[in-house]
A and B are shown apart, each in its own frame.
Chain A
């Protein structure tokens, strides 16, 4: 089974900061990696699919990059409404696997 490691588990940043969250996999998964945002008390929301494609309606300050075993979610300028937990996700052997999550807070 492919293992996923997401880091950091929590992050505190100031409004306007550039924020980076990483996800690493134990095997090469090409660019088959997706990112979700989950605001407190809400359902997850797909942000980025196939490593770098922005889902419709997602602000352009969000971007994704990477391929193979290392992936990054970047928020170019953190906004107060970006406070959430972020999850990476891949699909392996007919199984959705989520990363452990990164809780993002405002400093």
Chain B
């Protein structure tokens, strides 16, 4: 069973860069799935940030695409998120997730436990 684990700094300075990595275990990142980042601001709902395929193809949420970059490292079996010009509004729990195969409509069938990132000086 695939497992995902987010890692990265828990504190980012305003105007700085938020960088997170999601390590995939129990399966290969090159297995044909799309891999997503989702965030949840304190007390709020789920916001999808974007997704990446092992080839490097990406789809981003238009609301964030001018600040977001995702990358994948097949040799390390992990993928990463980079969000520039961070503000307090980017304070959130960040989840990585995997798009499943079972559904006709894209769904996220495996999730990391999430990591809290606070943007503050």
Contact = CB atoms under 8 A, between A and B. Distances in A.
Interface in B42-73: 45-48, 51, 59, 61-62
A55 to B, nearest CB: 7
Contact-size category for A: 20 to 34
Interface in A87-107: 87, 89-91, 94-101
B45 A87 contact: yes
A43 B113 contact: yes
Contact of B107 (A31, A38, A49, A95): A49
A4 B39 CA distance: 18
B47 A98 contact: yes
A95 B62 CA distance: 9
Contacts of A61: none
A44 B107 contact: no
A44 B47 CA distance: 12
Nearest to B114: A43
Interface stretch (B13-21, B24-32, B76-84, B95-103): B95-103
Interface of B: 36, 38, 45-48, 51, 59, 61-62, 95, 100, 102-109, 111-114
Interface of A: 29, 31-34, 36, 38, 42-46, 49-50, 53, 55, 87, 89-91, 94-101
